[in-house]
Structure 1
């Protein structure tokens, strides 16, 4: 964030296609949550649940839509159709982290057959292997390793301590955070008659589409044969495990701690909440939502389903089951009482 930056309400409204209500000349130099805002802060309000903060905020400017009324006197607001999106637009354009200058650090090791595009940054102790191809404006941070025959598209950023194994293909405009491993061996081991195991060679690769972001310490295994595929626009959180041969459709959201087992085929626009999982060799339809710690154990054929629990159930069915589980102690007690009554009735009639 640039501490010297100032933005007027008029300028912000121009960028987000909004309308100023209040002082068009008021200026802000930082961003914050509405409850923590100071007079030089820009913030947003999009959920009426937090509307009470509007009455007490010290913010210089608040982004909101037409559904929010009762604006305090003297508070400058900018009305726009999607306040959160507008706020993100301002963050990206003016406050987001700026990539380093384009240079190659003297401690970087770059093999002679590698192709380095224009405007690339290669940080300290980076290794670029044989026949690697980097597109224009690629950023490789300290201690990252890009192994032979891999390709990285233009404007992609590889943060420090990332390992990209051989023959990996990464698209343009991607961001891969520190500690992530792309293309490590899939977990393939065949049992032998004597109880030991033989390692199955993993001779495929990983293909990552355009506009993908991958969090820190995530692992995406190379396929046994063919490719492990991450579709365009996917967002993977920290500590995600994608096994060998998985195909993840475009624009999927995968939260932290999710594990997707080998050869699972996931449709487009799916959302997997934290610590959920998918068994191997199943197919999941487009726009499937999986709740936290839920587990898919068979094919999901209809698109747009919402599932929770493990094994997975449709959300409403799983909620009904939970009600029944909570009532089991009372039901057991009632059954015992009825059994005792029946026993006593038989004794009296005997």
Structure 2
């Protein structure tokens, strides 16, 4: 593929794509800038990687519009765009080949229940189990060893990687991707404590609803509602190893990083960003565009949108950083306090000695 072909692709998505260098160089594939060789394309979207521009062996770099380029080698060409990170995603799509999750059609080893409706161009892999009354949308691919229990409904163009489990009643929209090991619709963690110290299990009678264009990573667990639905709204992206408990609602286009844990009946707004290992107490809500830093512990609801939360308990980042600075200065403050206390003791000792002198 020539550089001018990559430029033409990017011009479909960006108003301005400026070429610096030759347009006729052949590009064989993408690579990280620090590892790239002749014929590779890479990108710079973060300032800390600009140091590699001078030493890279890449033939093409995609960079920001303000990136200086005149001082570099004539053998290195540049495409300057407003958003080099997104531009490089489009380039990766050009070079990536589709994965074969399951062959066309239905594998002879698959077990299909009664009254199952299969759409057009469905692919069902080896040892898949599909329960009674399921509905599988057009062009959906179901990888080997996946289990869909009764009355699971999927939309069009869904992708199930091997080993996904969907409990009964789970509903998926169009273009949903679920990676291996994920379990949708397992019972929520509901037990009523008893006077004798035991517990009675609360029946989990609801379902899980996954809306359009959601991607769920590997080894996630999204629990069914006690009643009603646990809802993952349109465009949500969830990393690996995330737990979402019963009756939660995750708003549109929210992203959740690995190992986050979200307790029952939590409502998270649209366009939020949840960092890795963040934890949420139950029955709270976050407004739209909230950012939660990694390892934060969210213990109460918020009303103001577009805040960044940090720390345990989580609070607005300026407040938390101020408290963190105070904690770092505690040792210095203690030394000052000790010195003041010693000074007071010496003053008191002096006054005592003066009083004794007067009495004698």
The 5 A counterparts of 1:69-148 are 69-70=68-69, 71-100=72-101, 101-148=103-150
Report which stretch shifted further, 143-152 or 64-73.
64-73
Match of 2:46 in 1: 47
Q: Say which of 313, 316, 327 aligns to 2:315.
A: 313
The 5 A counterparts of 1:278-317 are 278-317=280-319
The 5 A counterparts of 1:261-280 are 261-280=263-282
Question: 1:54 touches 1:72 (CA, 8 Å); kept in 2?
Answer: no
Deviation at 1:278, TM superposition (A): 1.2
Distance between the aligned counterparts of 1:193 and 1:96, measured in 2? 60
Deviation at 1:96, TM superposition (A): 4.5
Question: 2:273 touches 2:291 (CA, 8 Å); kept in 1?
Answer: yes
Distance between the aligned counterparts of 1:282 and 1:334, measured in 2? 42
Distance between the aligned counterparts of 1:66 and 1:268, measured in 2? 30
Q: TM-score if structure 1 supplies the norm length?
A: 0.95
Match of 2:358 in 1: none
Q: Say which of 245, 252, 270 aligns to 2:247.
A: 245
Q: TM-score if structure 2 supplies the norm length?
A: 0.93
Q: Say which of 4, 15, 19 aligns to 2:9.
A: 15
Q: Secondary structure at the match of 1:318?
A: helix
Question: 1:170 touches 1:209 (CA, 8 Å); kept in 2?
Answer: yes
Distance between the aligned counterparts of 1:250 and 1:102, measured in 2? 32
Q: Secondary structure at the match of 2:66?
A: coil
Match of 1:4 in 2: none
The 5 A counterparts of 1:157-236 are 157-236=159-238
Q: Secondary structure at the match of 1:190?
A: strand
Q: Secondary structure at the match of 1:62?
A: strand
Deviation at 1:194, TM superposition (A): 1.5
Q: CA RMSD in A?
A: 1.3
Question: 1:9 touches 1:20 (CA, 8 Å); kept in 2?
Answer: no
Question: 1:257 touches 1:274 (CA, 8 Å); kept in 2?
Answer: yes
Deviations 1:297-349 (A, max 9, x none): 11111000111001111111111111111111221222122122212211211
Distance 1:19 1:336, change over 3 A: closer
Distance between the aligned counterparts of 2:154 and 2:89, measured in 1? 27
Match of 1:3 in 2: none
Structure 1 residue runs of 5 or longer lacking an equivalent are: 1-6
Match of 2:343 in 1: 341
Q: Secondary structure at the match of 1:87?
A: helix
Distance between the aligned counterparts of 1:347 and 1:98, measured in 2? 83
Distance between the aligned counterparts of 2:65 and 2:194, measured in 1? 68
Distance between the aligned counterparts of 1:210 and 1:182, measured in 2? 15
Distance between the aligned counterparts of 1:157 and 1:215, measured in 2? 12
Question: 1:48 touches 1:68 (CA, 8 Å); kept in 2?
Answer: no
Distance between the aligned counterparts of 2:126 and 2:312, measured in 1? 45
Question: 1:222 touches 1:228 (CA, 8 Å); kept in 2?
Answer: yes
Structure 2 residue runs of 5 or longer lacking an equivalent are: 12-16, 353-360
Deviations 1:197-252 (A, max 9, x none): 11000000000111111111110000000000001000111110000000110001
Q: Secondary structure at the match of 1:35?
A: coil
Distance between the aligned counterparts of 1:99 and 1:118, measured in 2? 18
Runs of 4+ with >6 A deviation: none
Deviation at 1:99, TM superposition (A): 4.0
